[in-house]
Amino acid sequence: MRGATRRIQTEVDTPAQRHETHLHAPERGQPAERSAIQVTGKQDWPGHAPGPASPGAGPRTLRGMSGDRLAAIIVAMDEELAPFRALVGGWQRLTACAPWEAYEGRIGRRRVALLVSDCGPVNAGSATERVILQLRPEVILNGGSAGAHDPELRPGDVVIGSRCCILYPPALQDHRRRRGLHPKQIRFRRDGRRVHVPHLEADPAHVARALIVAGEELPRFAPWDGPGWPASEPRRPGRAITGTIGSTDAWHVDADDIRAHREVYGTACEDMESAFVAQVCALHAIPFLAVRAISDNEAAARLPEAEVLPAIAAAGVRAAAVLARLAAEI
């Protein structure tokens, strides 16, 4: 999601613990030291063993869904939820996740739950925790709109999140390094051990399937006719890529800021939720994938305030098309 109102990066508190444990899971065919874990629902780091269901957790299936495999889709805004109403059969309100606004239905043979989290890290993480503990989904998908970091991306393009990271200001990271501190990264505890990684990786099989789905769905759309396209460029059909999705509680509009974040994190795009959803999924060892449609490339064409919501809505239609089909297939 890109927030409905513009927000510029502000200062971030820098309290740091000098003594931290950094756990890295081995990657197939590589040494034990690695810089990320995969959010696959399998063993993701040393010492991990799936524990019993959390106390008070709801049943693994929704009311009336006994025996069905459940995929949960989390979006941040009404504009990103709206396209699913035409894609999900048997649409009805789901009260099991109150106070979150949630719905249930079916896409093909797959049962799905859809939840609107609202924007930002606290909302995204809290909503994800609620979905996992109450509904016990087999996989969680997150999506909607995003702003481009890759200078080649344009509105209507789709990014499949092969990895997600939290975007801390590059100046903060430099400050920590100068003080001899480890750069701020993703942190959580699981089974009494601390996980500290720069990013979280999605299941490669899910990423590969999502790229195929996006490549088949995007040609169904005409070239982007919404706001935010550079006036000097001819409009083209949407493209799908895999890449890193960075998340932060901000909207970067300055070209230098966007470039600096891309240089540090290698990001294709930014949003306000994906990495935070991924972190909670990793904590619970639930497979996760983010799919984001570009609503704006601020470095190429500044998006006027009045066109923010229309751009988010137009991007949401493309993201929903990919997510709905993906939910039915993975």
Mean pLDDT of the chain: 83
Considering only CA atoms, which of 270, 274, 275, 278 is closest in space to residue 295? 270
Q: How confident is the model at residue 40 (pLDDT cuts 50, 70, 90)?
A: low
Q: How confident is the model at residue 327 (pLDDT cuts 50, 70, 90)?
A: very high
Taken in order 318, 324, 325, 329, the sign of the CA dihedral is positive
Res. 67: pLDDT tops 90: no
Name residue 92's beta-bridge partners. Answer: 104
Is residue 111 within 8 A of residue 65, CB to CB? The reply is yes
pLDDT in tens, 244-262: 999 999 888 889 999 999 9
How far apart (Å, rounded) are the C-alpha atoms in residues 250 and 275?
A: 13
Considering only CA atoms, which of 160, 158, 161, 155 is closest in space to residue 295? 155
Q: How confident is the model at residue 64 (pLDDT cuts 50, 70, 90)?
A: very low
Question: Going from the N-terminus, what domains does the chain have, and what CATH number goes with each?
Answer: 61-329 (3.40.50.1580)
The whole-number average pLDDT for the span 264-288 is: 96
Tell me whether the omega of the peptide bond preceding residue 99 falls within 30 degrees of 0, making it cis.
yes
How far apart (Å, rounded) are the C-alpha atoms in residues 178 and 168?
A: 16
pLDDT > 90 in the chain, percent: 67
What is the pTM for the complete model shown?
0.81
How far apart (Å, rounded) are the C-alpha atoms in residues 252 and 7?
A: 7
The whole-number average pLDDT for the span 140-156 is: 98
The whole-number average pLDDT for the span 202-222 is: 98
Report the alpha-carbon angle 298-208-132, nearest 5.
80
pLDDT at 25: 33
Res. 59: pLDDT tops 70: no
pLDDT at 3: 53
Name residue 110's beta-bridge partners. Answer: 107
Structure tokens at 50: 């799936």
Task: Mention every residue, 6+ apart, whose C-beta is less than 8 A from residue 321.
Answer: 83, 87, 217, 220, 221
Res. 217: pLDDT tops 80: yes
pLDDT at 1: 64
Res. 13: pLDDT tops 50: no
